[in-house]
Structures are given as C-alpha cells and as structure tokens.
Structure 1
C-alpha cells in the first residue's frame, strides 16, 4: 500500500482575520486536527505548509501574529514545514523534494482556503502524477463576490470547487472515511 502524506495548507491564525469576511465550514480545523492525530498515531508523514505573504499588509506576513500556526495543527519536531509565497505549495518551495525523499505518491490535502491555495496545490499535485484525496470537512472557503457582483456563500463556493476538482484532480471524501482506511 502506498503511504499517504497529510498536507495541511495555511492553517495559520491569519485565516481568522476579519479581512476575509464570513467563512464557512466552522468545523474544518477540528477535522484537520482529527486527521493530524490519526497520522501521528500511525507515524505517517505530515507536511505543514505556511504562507509567508510578501504583502506587508497581509495578516499572513512573516513576523506578524497571523503567521503563526493555529494551535490545533501546531507542527511537532520532525514534521516538515514548507514556507510558500504563492498560492501553490509547489512553486518556489522544496515540497517536491520532501515528497520524493519520503517516497510519497498519495496525498490527503487539507486546509484553507479551498478556492485558493488548496485548489492550486491540488491541481498541481494531480498534474505531477500524485493521487490526491480532499477531505471535504477539512477544507474551508469564504463568501465570495463574482465579477458580475453576485454574492456566493462560502457553502456554495465550497460545493462548487469540490465538484470541479472531483474526479479530474482529486477524490473527495471525509476525514472519518479517510481515517478508517489508514493502516
């Protein structure tokens, strides 16, 4: 059986900043924490992605309080931390080297925001030949307004992005179903 790595994207204090507006999926961090606990219990690879924004006004900027990981997903000694500056965790980072070193070809990708960094990373991972699973309860979205001015709820954004990714880029599941299949 192929070892799956758990990737946790951008689950930092910055995601709670009011600048993002209303967020859906209030239980996402709890689901990520359950996944993280299951991975650690089984000594499976966990990779933390930290967004280091280059925008000095961003809550994700290095050195700011928002750059810190949320307590639920705080990395432990030995768990790789990949610092990224774009929405894609593969661009300008050593993520591919870490995955190669761990001999991982199957990923469970969780985090925020589904329609931003999670989406960009999942698409790239699939295009690089990784088998990708997204636990729908362990990713979160925010309310969005489209170019025509129509408002979309975080729940609708979440559902649409998952539908677009499903089958072509990833398999959609739940954190509990994924945990049940772990060795």
Structure 2
C-alpha cells in the first residue's frame, strides 16, 4: 500500500478506535484480512497519547443474545493491547458505547463531545472496515468532519450477501476504500502517512 498524499494532522485531531474487542477473535466471523491491523492500531494510539491528542475508545454492546460482543461476556471486552493503553495518555479520552454501526449513535454523544472541544478532524481505526468503521466515516463526513481512514489500521471478514453473491475481506476493504475516498466521505490513507503527519 503506497502513501497517497501529504496528510496534515491537527494538534487536536481525535483518534476514534472502533470496536477493537475480543469477540472479533471468535470463529463466528470467519476469515479476516490484514493481520497487521492490531500493530498499526497500537502504533496510532501510542502516537496520539504521546502527543496529548484526544482518543475515543468505542465499544459495541450487542443487543443480540449469544453475540460474541454481548455485554457481560469476555468477548465484549477490549483486546488486551487496547485495554492496557486506556487512560495512559496525557490528552482527553472518551469511552463511547453503542449498539448500532455508527459511533455517532452511541453514549455519550460523540458529535457533541467533538464539537464541544472544537475538534474538526478525526482518524478512524478498528473493526470492521466495511461495517462500523465505514458507517462512522460516512456519518462523520456528512456532519462536516475531515475524516481520515488509514486502511491498514483496520480489518474485516469475508461476507455472504444476496443472490448467492459473496466477497472476500480484501474485496470488501477495497470497495469501502473506493466508496469513501471516491465519494469524498473520507480520505483513505495509510498508518505511515498519519504517523508522519502527527509527528510534524
């Protein structure tokens, strides 16, 4: 994956870490892509915490009984590398819980929190690329935020759809990238690009 463009990262840009939960390690989901996602997510959290930028941790509390992400189960918990980093930065931190795809429809109100802090730019990472990440990015773009979407700091799973159609995780990731970037909902970039922008 090549760096696509020069990326400016503001001093108050928020990193939104979506649904990096143990339940996504369950075989229920099937085959995933991008085995380097967790390493890149960790690197971005570290960079944000070291520079005092705001970090939002988002957790999906599924309403479906038996879900790998059901509240009160081990799967609902953040993966260890995320939980170990929570509360370690010098900047603002927020925990948002949700039961739908968009982090903007959670508690507390993410949009209100961002606007209250004067934040205009967000970086979205986490799980899944074409589900909660994409939905959050689309809504963020609609709300007027400058949305950055480092494609190598997230992953998704193979998926079956209607009419006997199915797509691999890699195909879904590319479709998300084209839709978001081409539709100007977000700028699809790389972890390296974001890290370089944050270090300037």
Question: TM-score scaled by structure 2?
Answer: 0.87
Residue 40 of structure 1 corresponds to 49
The reply on whether 1:91 has 2:105 as its aligned counterpart is yes
Paired residue for 2:154?
139
Residue pairs, 1:25-104, within 5 angstroms: 25-74=34-83, 75-76=86-87, 79-93=93-107, 94-104=109-119
Task: Give me the whole-angstrom Cα distance separating, in 1, the residues matched to 2:180 and 2:15.
Answer: 18
CA distance in 2, matches of 1:152, 1:6: 29
TM (normalized to structure 1)? Answer: 0.95
Report which stretch shifted further, 91-100 or 46-55.
91-100
Matched, 1:171 2:187: yes
Runs of 4+ in 1 over 6 A off after TM superposition: none
- Relative distance call for 1:40 and 1:92 in structure 2 (3 A) is closer
After TM superposition, give the deviation of residue 149 of structure 1 in Å.
1.3
How much is the aligned-residue C-alpha RMSD, in angstroms?
Answer: 1.3
Task: Tell me which residue corresponds to 1:181.
Answer: 197
Aligned 8 A contact 2:158 2:166 in 1 = yes
Offset at 1:79?
Answer: 2.1
Gaps of 5+ in 2: 1-9
- 1:103-122 alignment, distance < 5 Å: 103-122=118-137
Inter-partner Cα distance in structure 2 for 1:20 and 1:90: 24
User: SS at 2:35's partner residue?
Assistant: coil
Report the Cα distance in structure 2 between the residues aligned to 1:148 and 1:28, rounded to whole angstroms.
Answer: 31
Number of equivalenced pairs: 183
**Deviations 1:21-41 (Å, cap 9, x if unpaired)?**
101111111100000011011
Task: Compute the displacement of 1:57 (Å).
Answer: 1.0
> For the Cα contact (< 8 Å) 1:7–1:48, is it kept in 2?
yes
- Structure 1: any 5+ residue segments left out of the alignment? none
